Amino acid sequence: MPETDKLVKLAVDIGEETPRTLVAGIAAHIEDLATLIGIQIPLLANLEPRMLKGTESQGMILAASDEEGGFSLLSPLHRVENGARVK
């Protein structure tokens, strides 16, 4: 999303016919967005779609942060089926 230095637009495969579009505020934390290709991260897929900077976001990724600004995407230890439920 060239109009912002905080948000990125992601196409995410959650096991549905077409990928979901997510807008995530992770641009400042991910130096090379290409490193996200093929990784698995948990997300909230049961949220109502929301418009962010003119793009409909159809979910929210889960990440962890600390008081010092540290940031980490969450990821399963072993590969799971795309769309698997988080329990």
What domains can you pick out in the chain, each with its CATH number? 8-73 (2.40.50.140)
| pTM listed for this prediction | 0.86
If you average pLDDT over residues 22-28, what whole number do you get? 94
* 34-47 tens-digit pLDDT: 999 999 999 999 99
Which of 45, 53, 52, 40 minimizes the C-alpha distance to 20?
45
Cβ–Cβ < 8 Å for 40, 75: yes
- d(CA 24, CA 69) in angstroms, rounded, equals 16
